Chains A and B, each alone.
Chain A
Amino acid sequence: MAYWDEDIETMNGKSLKELQSEKLVKLVHNVYNNSNFYKKRFDENGIKPEDIKSVDDLRKLPYTYKKDLRDTYPTGMFCVKSTDVSRIHASSGTTGKPTVVGYTKNDLDAWSESLARSLTSVGVNENDIIQISYGYGLFTGGLGVHYAAEKLGATTIPAGTGNTEKQIMLIKDLEATVICCTPTYFSYMIEVAEKEGINFKRDTKLKIGFFGAEPWSCELRNKIETKTGIKAYDIYGTSELSGPLFTDCTEQNGIHIWADMFIAEIINPETGEPVEDGEIGELVITTLCKEALPLIRYRVGDLTSITHEKCACGRTHPRIMKLTGRSDDMTIVRGVNVFPGQVESVLLSIPEVTSNFRITIDRINELDKMVVEVEINDEMFTDKMADLYNLQAKLEKELLSVLGISASVKLVGSDTLPRFEGKAKRVIDNRKY
């Protein structure tokens, strides 16, 4: 088992906590003294840097939101002089102005360090050839993976996005062993390759894929692994935290969050209260070593659960489980949190239907009623009514067990629900409050 930094990665819980406390205390003093934004936020909440003596005091600190970054556009939350900023990235800004993030030289090093540890944890090393099919530019994906791979001493193929036929040709001809892109793009690559008569298993040297930048299910992971013979890993990070920072390890049982660099919390997005380990909630991150744009209890908005148990791989740092969506996608039905990602995972496990769906919620006689429209898979359609009844019953049973509340399933024809180029709109909420 290879480690990038064994001492840190296998450090015992107590030492990790001491390290976090030490860094957190420094952090709160730093932001209070160097950022008007944080000074104001602390003052408004009656918090003084001296109140924070260890990680146990973390919950006294106020949250930071994406809105704060927008409100201080472009660089109002930076905590260093502009001349100390080495690089700028920005989010796509689909809902208005982009979110601008900055990095000092040390920040860039730490970013690569974090991802280099993660890549090592699945066995990537200096002998690998990594094709990076993430966008390069303002988006953090391409350059983030690129520098981490170079830090490892691996060979990089900065393929970027688009031109799928050429991407496949490069994987084949340059004998790439590792691919990194979004899971949906890789699924598309598999489709295109099949049409061209290229079989990833037979015709390429690919053995590992890192897929991220959007949530994807375990079922899709199985599908990718079976079809291509590679091991498919999650890669996680957001631009506010730096970019792609973490992956799961060979155990494929959660994404390791390096606790010496980041403190991860999971909270109930409605109440802001912490949830138990294993329970789904919103990820909140405090950055312990970022200089240009440190974040205190930042509401990342992604939904996951956390475990602090030591991983079978030997690493002691906490793990977050597969992302199940965004807290802003969450809907509450009959008091239960419902995430579209949960529905998708059910559909992906049933071959008779496609993974496209639409949820409609109505309130009838003071009771929430949820209907899930599901497309029949063309290939699997038989003309027996009994098969359709059974399919409907099976879907309703599975949804009940995953969601914890009942939903009616309405079967519709293949390709009849809307397809989405960008962010899918899966939920129609007709309830009036």
Chain B
Amino acid sequence: MTKLIQQISVFSENKPGKLAQVAETLKNADINLRAFTIAESGDFGIIRLIVDKPEEAYKLLKDVGFTVSKTDVLGVHMDDKPGSLLKISKLLSENEINMDYAYAFVTRDKTAVLIIRVSDVSNAISLLEKEDICFVCSQDIIT
């Protein structure tokens, strides 16, 4: 079973209505958002989405004219308590693995999920597994 989650990244000009257009496209296809974040820089930004139907979302967003890419990211379960993030980030940094970006959300069953894109995926997986840290797999995301 793959430990990777497919994230949808959408290039967006920084102007009103862009996020609404993304959201509307997903709503119309009954696609549910699990998590999302926006990285912005002046004129443009990247909207990153974790959805229940990534392939479908990718295709639909492309069809309505967005510039879209699929990226493999890691979803890591954390205990919803102080120190959880420290444990993971320390482990990666001590092993010279860089996080390109990260964002987190809390699930219905009160665990926190950290989404990370790292420079060295396979190394990161084996390190985290050794510490008994659980991954969110795509099956957990897909309804």
Using a CB–CB cutoff of 8 Å, the interface residues on chain A facing chain B are 376, 378, 381-385, 388-389, 410-416
What is the chain A residue whose CB lies nearest that of B41?
A385
Separation in Å of the B101 CB from the closest CB of chain A? 8
Q: Are B67 and A376 in contact (CB under 8 A)?
A: yes
Instruction: List the A side residues contacting B48 at CB < 8 Å.
Output: 383
Q: Are A381 and B39 in contact (CB under 8 A)?
A: no
Instruction: List the B side residues contacting A381 at CB < 8 Å.
Output: 9, 11, 67-69
Instruction: List the A side residues contacting B123 at CB < 8 Å.
Output: none
Q: Is B44 among interface residues, defined by CB-CB distance under 8 A? A: yes
Instruction: List the A side residues contacting B13 at CB < 8 Å.
Output: 412-413, 416
Separation in Å of the A355 CB from the closest CB of chain B? 16
What is the chain B residue whose CB lies nearest that of A409?
B43
Q: Are B43 and A411 in contact (CB under 8 A)?
A: yes
Interface residues of B: mostly helix, strand, loop or mixed?
A: strand
| Whole-angstrom CA separation of A324 from B96 in the bound complex | 50
> Can you list, as one digit per residue, whether each of B8-45 has a CB less than 8 Å from chain A (1) or not (0)?
01011100000000000000000000000001010110
Q: Is B138 among interface residues, defined by CB-CB distance under 8 A? A: no
Instruction: List the A side residues contacting B88 at CB < 8 Å.
Output: none
| Whole-angstrom CA separation of A415 from B48 in the bound complex | 20
Instruction: List the A side residues contacting B69 at CB < 8 Å.
Output: 381-383
Residue from the list A383, A410, A412 in contact with B46, Cβ < 8 A: A383
Residue from the list B12, B71, B101, B117 in contact with A413, Cβ < 8 A: B12
What is the chain A residue whose CB lies nearest that of B40?
A385
* 14 A-B pairs with C-beta separation under 8 A: A376-B11, A378-B67, A381-B69, A383-B7, A383-B48, A383-B69, A388-B41, A388-B44, A389-B41, A410-B44, A412-B13, A413-B11, A413-B65, A413-B67
| Whole-angstrom CA separation of A66 from B18 in the bound complex | 47
Instruction: List the A side residues contacting B71 at CB < 8 Å.
Output: 382-383
What is the chain A residue whose CB lies nearest that of B70?
A383
What is the chain A residue whose CB lies nearest that of B43?
A410
What is the chain A residue whose CB lies nearest that of B65?
A415
6 further contact pairs, Cβ within 8 A, besides A385-B41, A413-B12: A382-B71, A383-B9, A383-B117, A385-B101, A389-B41, A413-B13
| Whole-angstrom CA separation of A382 from B43 in the bound complex | 17
| Whole-angstrom CA separation of A410 from B46 in the bound complex | 14
Separation in Å of the B25 CB from the closest CB of chain A? 14
Q: Are B65 and A416 in contact (CB under 8 A)?
A: yes
| Whole-angstrom CA separation of A388 from B43 in the bound complex | 11
Separation in Å of the A309 CB from the closest CB of chain B? 45
Residue in B13, B67, B100 with the greatest tally of chain A CB atoms within 10 Å: B67
Instruction: List the A side residues contacting B43 at CB < 8 Å.
Output: 410-411
What is the chain B residue whose CB lies nearest that of A416?
B65
Instruction: List the B side residues contacting A414 at CB < 8 Å.
Output: 65, 67
Residue from the list A385, A412, A416 in contact with B39, Cβ < 8 A: A385
Instruction: List the B side residues contacting A413 at CB < 8 Å.
Output: 11-13, 65-67
What is the chain A residue whose CB lies nearest that of B8?
A383
Separation in Å of the A349 CB from the closest CB of chain B? 20
Separation in Å of the A93 CB from the closest CB of chain B? 36
| Whole-angstrom CA separation of A415 from B66 in the bound complex | 9
Instruction: List the B side residues contacting A411 at CB < 8 Å.
Output: 11, 43-44
Q: Are B46 and A385 in contact (CB under 8 A)?
A: yes
What is the chain B residue whose CB lies nearest that of A377?
B67
| Whole-angstrom CA separation of A411 from B66 in the bound complex | 13
> Can you list, as one digit per residue, whether each of B62-91 has a CB less than 8 Å from chain A (1) or not (0)?
100111110100000000000000000000
Separation in Å of the B112 CB from the closest CB of chain A? 22
| Whole-angstrom CA separation of A412 from B39 in the bound complex | 15
Separation in Å of the B95 CB from the closest CB of chain A? 21
| Whole-angstrom CA separation of A220 from B112 in the bound complex | 52
Instruction: List the A side residues contacting B11 at CB < 8 Å.
Output: 376, 381, 388, 411, 413
| Whole-angstrom CA separation of A410 from B45 in the bound complex | 12
Instruction: List the B side residues contacting A410 at CB < 8 Å.
Output: 43-44
Instruction: List the B side residues contacting A416 at CB < 8 Å.
Output: 13, 65
* 9 closest cross-chain pairs (CB), A and B: A383-B9, A413-B67, A383-B71, A414-B67, A381-B69, A381-B67, A410-B43, A376-B67, A413-B11
Instruction: List the B side residues contacting A385 at CB < 8 Å.
Output: 39, 41, 46, 101
